[in-house]
Structure 1
Amino acid sequence: MDLIEGLDQCWRGIDSVVRSLRPDQLSLPTPCGDWNVRDLLAHLGGAESFFQRLPQPEPPDDWVNPYTGLDFVTGQGVAARRGWSIEEITAEIKVASTAQLDMLRSLSPDGWQGETVGPMGPTTMAELARIRTFDVFTHLLDLRAALDLPLDPTDEPLAAATAAGWVIERSGWGAVKQARLPDGSRVRLDLTGPGARRCDVVVDGNRGSVTEPSTEACENSIEGQAVAYLLLATGRTGPAEKLGLPTPRGPLAESLLANYRLFG
């Protein structure tokens, strides 16, 4: 199944990065706010161990959580692992990722539609797997960006396609809630590479959606790599520039590209 193989691609990519790490690289900054490479690795293992219901450490008694919302939970997980060695952090990644993949491989067709809880509330097992692919793949790119490694979406094609698709499908929300495009707006997405998609982002009745492309000409369009679109939508302008920034044509496309941001 593509979802399982995509996640496996992500974890194998992270394992490759970990095996090449030097001690002096652990403190390098990443595209994830104030997290360095070590913090990001702690988040990867901690988040997946949480979803796999593995025991969780407590943060230091004197630690004050400066975050809100989803960042409150992820920040707490990283703080709880600040006293861990890098060997403990990477061991947790291995245990949690193995548990995740084993659990997904054991699911029946009905099990994929079973209810669970994701980072944004109740969801299905299939949707949680998509969300986790988006998160882990994006953070794999964060690690590579921090270490000045190539950002080649074809290294993990199934993961890249799932992650980019998840971002593209939420473009209607971004068009209304963030870009505030007016009713009747239509922006053509013409995205290439893993996750390639040709579709329209439409605002109708003040609701945004992603539809099949209209047969009529569209004055507003965005062209570029699907993974670069993902990176921009998650606020990672620097890594997106390395891949080549998507090109907007028309004011509505410019507004969507400039303002659609997930979790921000």
Structure 2
Amino acid sequence: MPPAKKRARSYDPAKTRAAVFAQLGNVREAVRGLTAEQLALPTRLGEWTVRELVAHIGMAVTAVHRALDRPAPPKQDVQVVEWPFATAANSAAIADFTRNVAAEHPDLDAYLADVEQSLHTLLDAHPGSRLLETNAGALPLDDYLVTRTVELVAHTDDLNAAVPGLDVPYDRQALAAATRLLADALAVQAPGGSTEVRVPPYAVVQCIEGPRHTRGTPPNVVETDPLTWIRLATGRLAWTDAVEEARVSASGERADLGDLLPLMA
């Protein structure tokens, strides 16, 4: 008999919406105090400056606006867990769009305030079941908002890495949703039950083909913290570096995730 298909994880729409606004608010509060010199600092994202990174954070949220401007697709044809695998397709266009947004909005605080207000207006006007045409396929609005937590958390981390001492906080629910979506994506990328990946306190998934573990301590275990997991899954941190720096513990012959990461490019 084939193994039972796993039920897709569900996300509380109200908590997801609150998380998106909370993390966007954290970024906006931090950006408000940045100097011109800080905005001109380089980031770990190629040639982008901090100013361009902040513009991109706003742009990641207004992806919802752009999707709602288009006609609704006839039916959903993808699950939210598949979204991470579709993020590299338009990287060049995204880079150009980001530079244009940064040039057009010199007052980044005002820009983010407008993004926040317009998102409130749109979410009040559209049901969470409204289908959107996204880079991954047709998704309900509520599911697409889960993907925005990944964008917001990963780019908040980029911002903290670029500006010494900035320390933008991470909303707990945003961090949880981002961690869970990327952990579930790993399980889709490498289905199986031989290895347990733990990202406490938010996620535990089984992955990788091999003998399925049912009792006691699993023979293959990977464990790390949420931010390290997000950095690994999004290509900010290499697997070998994470292991060498003891940011990840990996035990067992099937506990090497190096060939499976990053999930997003």
For normalisation by structure 2, the TM-score amounts to: 0.74
- 5+ residue gaps, structure 2, are 1-13, 68-87
Matches within 5 A, 1:46-61: 46-53=59-66
| 134-143 vs 215-224, which moves further | 215-224
Q: Which residue does the alignment assign to 1:78?
A: 98
- The 1-side partners of 2:118 and 2:229 are apart by 31
Residues 121-175 of structure 1: per-residue CA shift (max 9 Å, x gap): 211111110011111121111111111347687x410110011111011012443
Q: Which residue does the alignment assign to 1:197?
A: 203
Compute the displacement of 1:86 (Å): 2.7
Compute the displacement of 1:263 (Å): 2.5
Residues 188-241 of structure 1: per-residue CA shift (max 9 Å, x gap): 112214xx223312438xxxxxxx983354221111212321111111129979
- The 2-side partners of 1:29 and 1:174 are apart by 33
SS at match of 1:253: coil
Matches within 5 A, 1:130-209: 130-149=146-165, 155-175=170-190, 186-193=194-201, 196-203=202-209
Say whether the 8 Å CA contact 2:196–2:218 is kept in structure 1.
yes
Say whether the 8 Å CA contact 1:174–1:261 is kept in structure 2.
no
For normalisation by structure 1, the TM-score amounts to: 0.74
* Identity between Structure 1 and Structure 2 (%): 20
1:102 partnered with 2:110: no
Aligned match for 1:113, one of 129, 137, 141: 129
Distance 1:152 1:188, change over 3 A: farther
- The 1-side partners of 2:18 and 2:27 are apart by 14
1:122 partnered with 2:138: yes
SS at match of 1:116: strand
SS at match of 2:254: helix
Aligned match for 2:111, one of 69, 83, 92: 92
Say whether the 8 Å CA contact 2:189–2:260 is kept in structure 1.
yes
The one of the two structures with greater contact order (alpha-carbon pairs below 8 A, sep at least 6) is 2
RMSD across aligned C-alpha pairs, in angstroms?
3.1
- What count of residue pairs does the alignment treat as equivalent? 229
Aligned match for 1:253, one of 231, 252, 255: 255
- 5+ residue gaps, structure 1, are 55-67, 177-183, 205-211
- The 2-side partners of 1:198 and 1:150 are apart by 31
Q: Which residue does the alignment assign to 1:34?
A: 47
